[in-house]
């Protein structure tokens, strides 16, 4: 029984490809989460600066 060489290599590499795929998905999710956190941090920073300048404006 003859098995094509590329199928044998694919069967040997498939667990590694699956691991690489899972790692890529995790990295994508982590990057999305980091971008969302940065976006929220920037929004909160500008809100806090607005409150701070509002209080400073009331002092003068």
pLDDT, tens digit, 9 for 90 and up, residues 8-25:
788 888 888 889 999 999
Residue 2 pLDDT class (50, 70, 90 cuts): low
**Mean of the per-residue pLDDT values of the chain:** 88
pLDDT at 54: 84
pLDDT at 41: 96
Rounded to 10 degrees, what is the CA torsion of 23, 29, 35, 40? Answer: -140
Q: Is the pTM of this model over 0.95?
A: no
């Amino acid at each position: 029984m003859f098995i094509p060489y590329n199928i044998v290599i694919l069967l040997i590499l498939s667990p590694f490809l699956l691991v690489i795929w899972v790692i890529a998905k995790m990295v994508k999710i982590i990057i999305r989460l980091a971008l969302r956190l940065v976006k929220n941090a920037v929004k909160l920073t500008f809100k806090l600066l607005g409150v701070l300048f509002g209080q400073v404006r009331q002092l003068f």
